[in-house]
Structure 1
C-alpha cells in the first residue's frame, strides 16, 4: 500500500501564494495538522516513510515518523512540488489571470520558468514506482505536494481525477495499491483525521 499525503499548512498556503520549490516551513496550523495525521497513522501499518526534500513536506513526514518509531525519513527531490519559476511568491489568483490554463496546460511549452505538467508527472510516477519496487511487500507513506500528487492521481486514473479536477487539502491522504507494475487508487483526499483533537 502507498499512502500519498499532502504536507501541512504553511503561511503561504494561508495567504494563497504560489510556493513551488520555495522552501516554506509549516505554520502552527500545519504543525497541528501533522500531529493529527500522525494520530491517524498510529494504528495503521507503515514500514517506510519518504518525503519531498522541501521543509514543509519533510516536517510533516517526520511528525508521523516520530509517532511510528520510524526515524529514517528518506527524501527525494523528484517528490517536490511543481516548479513555478518566476511566478513563485505571487497570489494564485494572479497566475490564474496571467495563465488561465496553467493547471491543465498539457503539451504546452514552459513559460515564466513553470515546469511542464508532463515533466512533473513523469518524475513523480518514476520516483513512486522506484519506491514501491524497492519496498516490495511493505507499506509506504510518502509526503509530497498538491500539484505533484494531483499529477500522479491524473496518471493513475488516466485523467478522470487529479490535475485540473481535484483540490487536495493539507495533510489529505490518497492511497494506492501497487501490484505487478499496476496502480489502483483506493481512497482519495481523505482529511477525516483533522477532526482528531491534539494538544
Structure 2
C-alpha cells in the first residue's frame, strides 16, 4: 500500500505563487495541516516514509514520521515538484496566460524552461515503482507535491484523473495498491482531517 501525500500549505500556496523547485517552508496553517494529517497515521502502521527533498515536503514528512513512530525519513530528489522554470515565483495567473495548456501539453516542447509533463511523470513513476518493488508487503508513505502527484495519478488511471482534471488539497492523501507489478488507485484527495 502506498500513501501519497501532498505537503502542507506555504505562503506561496496561499498567495497563488508558482513554487516548482523553489524551496519554500510551510506557513503556520501548513504546520497545523501537517500535524492534522500526521494524526491520521498515529493508528496506521507505516513501515517506511519517503519525501521530496524540498523543505515543505520534508517538514510535512517529519510530522507524519513522529506520529507513525518511523525513525528515518528517506529524502529523494526525484519526488520533488514539477519545475516551472522561469515562471517560478510568478502569480499562477501568469502561468495561465503564458502557458494556458501547461496541464495538458503532453508531447509538446516546453516553454519558459518548464519541465515537460512526460519528464515529471517518468521520474515519479520510476522512483515510486522502485520504492514499492523493494517494499513488497509493506505500507509506505510518500510526501510530494500537487503537480508531481497528479502526473502519477494520470499514469495509473490512463489519464482519467490527475493532471489536467484533479486538484489536490494540501496534505490530502491518495492511496494506491501495487501488486504483481501493477498499480491501482484506491482513494484520491482524501483530506477529511481538515474538516
Query: Structure 2 length as normaliser, TM-score?
Result: 0.99
Could you tell which deviates more after superposition, 70-79 or 170-179?
70-79
Answering whether residue 64 of structure 2 is matched by residue 64 of structure 1, we say yes
RMSD between aligned residues: 0.6
1:155: how far off? 0.1
Q: Which residue matches 2:164?
A: 164
1:71: how far off? 2.2
Distance in 2 between residues matched to 1:28 and 1:18, nearest whole Å: 19
How do 1:27-106 and structure 2 match up within 5 A?
27-106=27-106
Structure 2 contact 44–68 (Cα < 8 Å) conserved: no
Answering whether residue 103 of structure 2 is matched by residue 113 of structure 1, we say no
Structure 2 contact 8–30 (Cα < 8 Å) conserved: yes
Structure 1 contact 81–144 (Cα < 8 Å) conserved: yes
Structure 2 contact 150–163 (Cα < 8 Å) conserved: yes
Distance in 2 between residues matched to 1:172 and 1:67, nearest whole Å: 16
Structure 2 contact 12–19 (Cα < 8 Å) conserved: yes
TM superposition outliers: structure 1 runs of 4+ over 3 Å: none
